[in-house]
Amino acid sequence: MSIDSFRDHTRQILENLLAETPKADRQELIEAYTELLTRLYAAESHRLLSEVIEDARLRLDARLAPDPIRQTIAGVQTTIQDLWNTLWK
């Protein structure tokens, strides 16, 4: 999952920060690791947004399809996703 991978990457970055602290200038470490965390956040956000856009495109294609079975499946997927989002929040 994206949250778990983000957490794992963040944990690794912070472990590296703590391991390097006695050897390096503190301000340089803060700047370097701030940059790493920012890049990690941007990459994870981009990946997640790409997944959402792809999912929306597939659902829209299914809803616009002339096949009623694909339209029904798309409706069920949307309902389940709405239910999941309601429970998650």
Domain total of the chain: 1
CA distance 63 to 77: 11
Q: pTM here? A: 0.53
Answer yes or no: are the C-beta atoms of 13 and 38 closer than 8 Å: no
- Taking only the tens place, the pLDDT of each residue in 4-43 is 777 888 888 888 877 876 777 777 877 888 888 888 888 8
Query: Which range marks the domain in which residue 36 is found?
Result: 2-88
CA distance 4 to 6: 5
Residue with tokens 């239910």: 83
